[in-house]
Amino acid sequence: MTLPIRRIARGNRIPGQSSSSALADKETATLYMECITVLFEVISAFDKANNLQDVDVLLESFRMAMTNIPLERDRVSHAWQSLRPSLASLPEITHLEARVLAVISDSVEDLPRDAVNKTVAPVPAYKLKSCYVQQEMHMILPGLYVGSYHPAASRSVLDAQGITHICCCINVSPRFPDAYSYLVLPADDNSEYDISPFFATSFQFINAALSSGGRVLVHCGAGISRAPTITASYMIQKLGIGTDEALRMIKSIRSCASPNKGFVEHLRKLSLTNKSVA
């Protein structure tokens, strides 16, 4: 029996921006998984170099280019060329550039990870540990988890945490419609995108699931911007807290969480509205 799946209208789009399509085939899903993995490796490299704040604008542009669907390779290439000089002195640069170029050239299948290690020195596992931790799901409140596309695509991971409901914040077809209840929010990770129309619907979905004893995973592509934003909106409405407090709570558990500036402004408006109603 297929469980309920709710799809929400896309909402406002940026003029001229192409319409996203769902990850309908395995090849596209594989490419998207690779994009997220490469993104986390880049973030991890900057994190170890302690210069995340120095490149926050460039890194946010690269993140949004890598996690929106469909993948716009020209946008990824431009964002990478802007970001690359800041990585030039890091030992991972050759490895990372090979991975990014594979994504841009659509040759992920032709350049698996072990092939990269045949041409450049392999990156020590300990150096990549934090990026793989970031791909996991994290429990923010009892029964409420935030994560990336990776755990949402793994039945064993979802079952291990007792997940019953999945709030998907990207335009992705449900992977396991027979096993979990889904809410699909096809949001774009862009500071000009209005994500606020999804706040009320996601609140109802999450609240109903938790009230019935369920467990909810809220995920997007990287679990950095869209999913934390939707989770924060739930916390603001449910707990009556402010935007800064909600985001602090999320970041204290999921350190990579960092909604784009436009999303933060939408959360601040929600917080003000919520306080005036209360």
The CA dihedral of 154, 198, 229, 188, to the nearest 10 degrees, is 70
Among residues 227, 49, 219, 37, the alpha carbon closest in space to that of 131 is found at: 37
Among residues 275, 236, 7, 124, the alpha carbon closest in space to that of 228 is found at: 236
Q: pLDDT at position 6, please?
A: 61
For 47, other C-beta atoms within 10 Å of its C-beta total 16
| Residues involved in catalysis | 220
Top-tier CATH class for 135-277? alpha beta
For 249, other C-beta atoms within 10 Å of its C-beta total 18
Mean pLDDT, consecutive 10-residue segments, the chain of 278 residues? 55 39 55 75 73 70 78 84 84 83 65 36 42 75 94 92 96 89 93 95 97 96 93 96 95 90 96 74
Among residues 249, 179, 164, the alpha carbon closest in space to that of 209 is found at: 164
Residue given tokens 């992920």 in the structure block: 108
Rounded distance, CA 128 to CA 95, Å? Answer: 12
Q: pLDDT at position 120, please?
A: 35
| Domain ranges for the chain | 26-132, 135-277
Model pTM greater than 0.75? no
Whether 256 contacts 223, CB under 8 Å: yes
